[in-house]
Structures are given as C-alpha cells and as structure tokens.
C-alpha cells in the first residue's frame, strides 16, 4: 500500500518535472504574468486579437520547428531550413505567377524541391559521413548563393485564392494554425505510432547501437531530413501566401534556422538526440510567441526582446539539465 | 604538422592561382595586404579552434565582434585619448563574455550550441538597446591604425598565431585535445575538465575581441560588421581538417583553413564571380573538403588514427 502510494507519488513527480510538462507550466506562467502585467499597464491581454496574433505569429515557426524536432531527435540538425524557406516561397510564387490554375503545380514543385534538398542533406550526412552541422551549413550557403544570384528582391505573384491560407480564419483559429496543427499531428503520429518513430529515437539515442540492433540507420536519417525539409517547404508556402509573393530573405529575416532549433530545445528535446517530442516543441514555439506578444503589448524595445529570448532559452535548458541530473543517472 | 599538409597544399595552389591572375600579389605589399585582410578571420579561427577541438561550439563570436566595434565607437567617439583604455576594456569584455559562455556550458551543463546561441541573441540585443538601434560615435585614428596599417595588423596576427601554437604545445593544449577526444578518460586521468574548457571559451572570446579591434579599423563601424563571422570561422576551422566533436586537428591547420577561405574569396573576386555566388562556392568547397576527409580515412589513415589516439590519451 505505502509502496503503491510512493510509486504513485514518484510517477507524479516524474510527470511534473518531465520537460514537456515544464514547458507547458512555463507557458501557463508566462500567460498569467503577461496578463497581470498588461492589466497593470491598463490593457487587455486575453483578447481575440492577441489569441489570433499568437497563433498567426507562431504558425510558420511552428511548422519548421516540428520538422526540426524530427532532425534533432534523430541526433542530427538542420541549419538549411531558413534558406530553404526563402527558396520555397520563390518557387511557389514564381510558379503560380498569379494564376489560380497553377496552384497545384506550384505546391508540387515546392514539395519536390524541398524533398530534394532534404534528400541531399540526408545523403551527405549518412553516406558521406559529413557532420550534420557542416552538411546543412554547406547546403544553406549553396542555396544562399543561388538565391542571391537569381533574385534581388521579391518575385512572382501569389493568386488571391491562395492567400486565404495566410489570412483566413475559422472563428478564433487561423487556417495557418490549423495547418500547423495538422503537421504537428502527423509528426506526432509518425513518432509515437509507427516503426519509423521508434527508429528515430533509437538512432538519436545511439546510432551505433541502433545499427547493431538491425536498424538501417542511414535510411532513417535520410527520411528524417526529407521530412524536415518538407516542413520547411510548407512554411515557405505559408509565408508566400502571406506576402503575396516570394522573397529571397523571408527565411533568414525570420531567423528560422536557429530559432527553430531554440524552440525545439526549449520544448525539452536533447540537442544530442533521442529525447523529446512534438508536444514539447509546440509548447516551446507557443512560449516564444506569447513572450513576443506580451512584449508587443507592453511596447518593449525589440532589442530587449532579443536579450530576454536569449536568457530564456539558456535558462530553460539549464533547468532541464538539472532535472535530468536529479531523476535519471548523471551523465558525464 | 602532417595533418596540416593537405590544407597547406590547397592554400599553396590557391595562392599560386591568385598570383598568376594578379602578379602584384607576389610583391610584399600585395601579399601583406592580403594577409591584413585575412587577419581577423584567422584570429577568430584560432579562437574557434580551441573551443571546437575540446568538443564544443562558439556561435557567439560574430555578434561579439559587432558588440566590440559598436562599443568602441560609442565610448571613443573620436577622442584620441580614450583609445588605450577602451582597447583594454574591449579585451576585458571579450574575456568576460567567453568566461560566461564557458561557465554556463560547463557548470550549468547547457550544450554549448545553445549557450552561445543564447549569448548571440543577448549580445546583439543588448548592444543596440544601449545605442538605441544603430551604431553611434566614431573610432579614433589610433584605434583604426590596427586594422588599417598593414604592419600592425600583420604583427597582431603573428603574435596571436605564435601564442596559439605555443599554447597548443604546452600542457594546456594537450589536455584540451584529450578532453575533446574522450572527456571521461581525460577526467579520470586527472585533467580538470571544467577549468580547461573555461579557459578555451575565454580565449575564444578574447580572439573575437582582437578580431573586432582589427575589423573596426579595417571595415569601419556598422551594425553588420560581425554578421555571419561565427559560421565563417567554423567553416575555416573545419576546412583545416579539424573534426567537429573534438579531439582531432591542429591550430596551424585551422588558421591555414581561414587563409584558404580568404584566398578563395580573393580568387573568386579576381575571376569576376558575382558576390552572391561566392557563397555557393564556399558551400560546395566546405562539403567537399569534409566529405573527402571522411571518406579517405578508413582506407588510408586508419592505422595512423589509431596511433594518434594512443599518443593523445
């Protein structure tokens, strides 16, 4: 009996300090504090406008971060997403050229280009044994050069019908947020309910052990990078529909490469791979967006936002490092 | 030294190719002005090497360079007398930032990628919060001398290079490589891992300060002066054959990697390759260099690697 209670208590304690719960607790905390601060400031925080704004703001980053989650869980990472997003937005807008009839073709082209980039990333990392950091940095330099050579500014045109994706909403939920939710659900399903998902965790935990247990690790890494790049492509489509055109700087201006990695680790995933999940990432992205929204309402200087953001990311990861140290075995 | 050979060979080929197109390059003045242009990146690469070889990253050096230049401009504001105190302050600032990076990484056990990414956000936010969004003030003539006059820049570079080589030959260097190779083994054999890593991060911060001082003189004050330098420095180090994850590679090769990168840019300019496409070439070269190194290893270098691992541990 007592033992049961003890075990029960320990399990509950474990659930509380599991990083995913921590990030949602932190999210709730930030919303409360933000609400209080904005109320003191004489404003209203939980309005329709803010709720929609938070979702709008976080959708693009959220989609990229879901893809980045897969890459990081597999013990890899993808620095090329920012330039891929720019590339995707341009491919979309240039192919559409303002014609409704070209939308399907454009979406197909974006998915094709993204999958190709992901395939190249994955092949370099798994077959050529290039460190993921270097491989994806190299690819992003290559895309950067091509974009800079071909385009000086915004190009192409997105037809009005496609812009619904960026701006419409159903009640309080924007279509872009639904798209994000769909992407997150698919990723969650892949990770939790398919063999592929278990293999991702295995490869991220220890690639050599995974290989020795019969997992074709190269294939897992390649698929993961294709999926990650597809997510970046979807984010590029979303941004193109918002801008009404493709832009060579839309990905880098948003800082989607490092920011998506930050959101993933904020959500409790281990940068070394094998630990974390989509739910945590969604929490991490929302946390960043709510922080942003609070600062906007308080009209805080945008540079101060960067400072706070940097501190929050480091502190969060430091907290997770402590927690895993307390519960699990201390890693040296 | 043997490990530095491939990159030195590539560097020699690139320098020869530049000299063929542009004979002025063979004269001391022409060559030294190339070295002056390369000096900041070479110094950054030396600092980044220390961190990478111990198995970590430093992504904050780019924004640290910007911070150094902007802080210098605001504090000096054209006042010649302020030059030397501000120079000292800049070095201390670099040292402090590196120390914080190291402390958070080692004591709080935050992966250095995240620590230095956070530091990058904090630094670039803080400095423009302080100056109100855009760089203000001006550098003094005495300050700009370091980056502008070839003699000073080359002298600074030589001092840093010699110091880095001596440091890597001393006990510190050997323990640093041992930590990158196998942290636990190093700790068990009595290395104070935390302290050695702290010093590596601190020195990386100092190298960013020195690079910032040179760049401020060379390129002037702007908000973009350090943009992307962290990735260029990492590229340079990796080009030199240093392995991400630590334990392999020499500081000479890392610095040669930086010179190679700069020589590549010079060559592309000479051949009239558009500004943007140079990134594409950089990306291809980076991947090719690392892939070539990784593929060759199992067939040719396997016994050598084993011997090395022994020597290190």
Residue of B nearest to A252 (CA): B228
ipTM score for this prediction? 0.86
The 3-state DSSP composition of chain B as helix, strand, coil percent (nearest 5) reads 80, 0, 20
Between helix A217-243 and helix A103-126 the angle, nearest 10°, is 140
Predicted confidence at residue B142, as pLDDT, reads 86
pLDDT tens-digit series, residues B175-232? 999 999 999 999 999 999 999 999 999 999 999 999 999 999 888 888 888 888 999 9
What are the Cα distances from residue A125, in Å, to A236, A241, B183, B292? 24, 32, 24, 13
What average pLDDT score do residues B1-20 get?
Answer: 83
CA distance A123 to A130: 9
Banded pLDDT at B4 (limits 50, 70, 90): confident
Q: What is the pLDDT of residue A3?
A: 52
**Which of B121, B191, B274, B281 has the highest number of chain A CBs within 10 A, making it the mutation to test binding with A?**
B121
Task: With beta carbons under 8 A apart, name residues in chain B contacting A131.
Answer: 238, 243-245, 290
With cut-offs at 50, 70 and 90, classify the pLDDT of residue A21.
confident
Is the confidence at residue B291, as pLDDT, over 50?
Answer: yes
Instruction: Report yes or no: A62 and A278 within 8 Å, Cβ to Cβ.
Output: no
Closest residue of chain B to A135, computed from CA coordinates: B287
Q: pLDDT, tens digit, for every residue of A242-260? A: 999 999 999 988 889 999 9
**The 3-state secondary structure of A268-301, one letter per residue:** CCCCCCCCCCHHHHHHHHHHHHHHHHHHHHCCCC
What's the confidence (pLDDT) of residue A10?
Answer: 52
Listed residue (A15, A26, A17, A67) closest to A266, CA to CA:
A26
> What whole-number distance in Å separates Cα of residue A42 and Cα of residue B280?
51
Q: For the ranges A295-304, A308-317, B37-46, B69-78, which has the lowest average pLDDT?
A: A295-304
How far from B285 is each of A225, B10, B17, B237, B294, CA to CA, in Å? Answer: 22, 11, 16, 13, 14
* Structure-token pair, residue A293: 């929204």
Task: Give pLDDT tens digits for A189-246.
Answer: 999 999 999 999 999 999 999 999 999 999 999 999 999 999 999 999 999 999 999 9
Closest Cα in chain A, distance from residue B126 (Å): 6
Set of chain A residues whose Cβ sits within 8 Å of the Cβ of B281:
145
Burial of A129 (0-12, 13-18, 19+ CB in 10 A): middle
Answer yes or no: do B278 and A145 touch at CB < 8 A.
Answer: yes
With a CB cutoff of 8 Å and minimum separation 6, the contacts of A24 are: A283
A301 interfacial to chain B (CB closer than 8 Å): yes
A6 and B CB contact within 8 Å = no
B113 contacts on A by Cβ (under 8 Å): 261, 271
Chain B partners of A267 at a C-beta cutoff of 8 Å? Answer: none
| A144/B128 CB distance under 8 A | no
Average pLDDT over residues B152-156: 92
Predicted pLDDT at B309: 41
CA torsion B130-B131-B135-B140 (nearest 10°) is -90
What are the residues whose beta carbons fall under 8 Å from the beta carbon of A259, sequence distance 6 or more?
A61, A288
Q: What pLDDT does B181 receive? A: 92
Q: Can you tell me whether residue A246 is helix, strand or coil?
A: strand
A265·B290 Cβ contact <8 A:
no
> What are the sequence ranges of the domains in chain A?
12-327
pTM: 0.88
A152 touches chain B (CB under 8 A): no
Check B283 against A137: CB less than 8 A apart: yes
What is the phi-psi region of residue A304: left when phi exceeds 0, alpha when psi lies from -120 to 50, beta otherwise?
alpha
Lowest mean pLDDT among A312-321, B121-130, B219-228, B288-297: B288-297
Rounded to 10 degrees, the C-alpha dihedral A295/A257/B241/B275 comes to -100
Set of chain B residues whose Cβ sits within 8 Å of the Cβ of A149: 274, 276-277, 280
Q: Residue B249: CA atoms inside 13 Å, Cβ hemisphere, count?
A: 33
Identify the DSSP state of B300. Answer: I
Q: What is the 3-state secondary structure (H, E, C) of A34-48?
A: HHHHHHHCCCCCCCH
CA distance A226 to B257: 31
List of domains in chain B: 2-312 (1.10.3470)
What's the first-to-final CA gap in chain B, in angstroms? 19
Q: How far apart are CA A82 and CA A64, in angstroms?
A: 9
Q: Tens digit of pLDDT for each residue in A164-176? A: 888 888 888 899 9
Contact B280 A146 (CB under 8 A): yes
Cβ contacts (< 8 Å) between A145 and chain B: which residues? 276-283
What is the structure's pLDDT at A328?
42
Structure tokens at A192: 């939790």
């Amino acid at each position: 009996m007592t033992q049961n209670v003890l075990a029960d208590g320990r399990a509950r304690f474990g659930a509380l300090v599991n990083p995913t719960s921590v990030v949602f607790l932190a999210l709730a905390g930030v919303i409360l504090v933000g609400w209080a601060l904005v109320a003191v400031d004489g404003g209203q925080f939980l309005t329709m406008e803010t709720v929609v704004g938070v979702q709008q703001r976080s959708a693009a980053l959220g989609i990229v971060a879901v893809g980045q989650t897969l890459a990081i869980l597999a013990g890899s990472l993808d620095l090329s997403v920012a330039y891929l997003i720019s590339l995707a937005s341009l491919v979309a807008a240039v192919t559409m050229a303002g014609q409704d009839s070209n939308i399907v073709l454009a979406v197909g082209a974006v998915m094709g280009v993204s999958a190709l980039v992901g395939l190249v990333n994955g092949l370099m990392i798994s077959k050529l044994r290039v460190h993921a950091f270097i491989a994806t940095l190299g690819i992003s330099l290559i895309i950067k050069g091509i974009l800079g050579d071909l385009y000086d500014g915004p190009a192409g045109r997105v037809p009005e019908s496609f812009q619904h994706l960026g701006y419409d909403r159903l009640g309080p939920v924007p279509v872009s947020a639904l798209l994000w939710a769909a992407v997150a659900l698919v990723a969650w399903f892949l990770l939790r309910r398919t063999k592929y998902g278990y293999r991702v965790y295995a490869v991220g935990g220890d690639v050599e052990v995974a290989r020795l247990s019969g997992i074709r690790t190269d294939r897992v890494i390649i698929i993961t990078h294709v999926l990650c790049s597809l997510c970046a492509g979807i984010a590029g489509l979303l941004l193109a529909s918002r801008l009404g055109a493709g832009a060579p700087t839309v990905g880098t201006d948003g800082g989607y490469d490092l920011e998506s990695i930050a959101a993933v680790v904020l959500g409790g995933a281990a940068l070394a791979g094998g630990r974390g999940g989509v739910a945590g990432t969604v929490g991490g992205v929302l946390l960043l967006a709510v922080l942003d929204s609070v600062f906007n309402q308080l009209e805080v200087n945008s540079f101060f936002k960067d400072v706070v953001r940097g501190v929050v990311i480091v502190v969060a990861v430091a907290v997770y490092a402590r927690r895993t140290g307390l519960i699990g075995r201390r890693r040296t | 030294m043997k490990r530095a050979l491939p990159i030195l060979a590539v560097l020699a080929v690139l320098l020869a190719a530049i000299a063929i197109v542009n004979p002025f390059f063979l004269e001391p003045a022409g060559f030294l002005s190339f070295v002056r242009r390369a000096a900041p990146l070479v110094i950054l690469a030396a600092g980044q090497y220390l961190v990478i070889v111990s198995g970590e990253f430093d992504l904050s050096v780019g924004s640290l360079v910007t911070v150094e230049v902007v802080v210098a401009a605001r504090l000096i504001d054209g006042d010649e007398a302020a030059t030397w105190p501000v120079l000292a302050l800049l070095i201390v600032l670099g040292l402090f930032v590196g120390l914080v990076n190291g402390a958070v990484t080692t004591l709080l056990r935050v992966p250095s990628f995240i620590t230095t990414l956070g530091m990058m956000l904090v630094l670039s936010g803080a400095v423009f919060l302080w100056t109100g969004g855009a760089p203000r003030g001006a550098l003094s003539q005495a300050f700009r001398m370091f980056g502008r006059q070839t003699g000073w820049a080359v002298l600074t570079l030589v001092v840093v290079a010699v110091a880095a080589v001596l440091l890597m030959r001393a006990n510190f260097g050997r323990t640093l490589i041992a930590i990158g190779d196998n942290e636990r083994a190093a700790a068990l054999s009595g290395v104070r891992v935390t302290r050695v890593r702290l010093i590596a991060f601190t020195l990386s911060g100092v190298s960013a300060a020195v690079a910032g001082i040179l760049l401020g003189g060379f390129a002037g004050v702007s908000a973009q002066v350090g943009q992307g330098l962290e990735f260029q420095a990492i590229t340079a180090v990796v080009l030199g054959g240093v392995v991400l994850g630590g334990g392999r590679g020499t500081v000479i090769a890392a610095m040669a990697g930086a010179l190679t990168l700069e020589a590549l840019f010079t060559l592309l300019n000479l051949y009239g390759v558009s500004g943007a496409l140079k990134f594409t070439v950089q990306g291809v070269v980076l991947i090719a260099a690392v892939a070539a190194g990784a593929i060759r290893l199992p067939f040719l270098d396997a016994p050598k690697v084993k011997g090395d691992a022994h020597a290190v541990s």
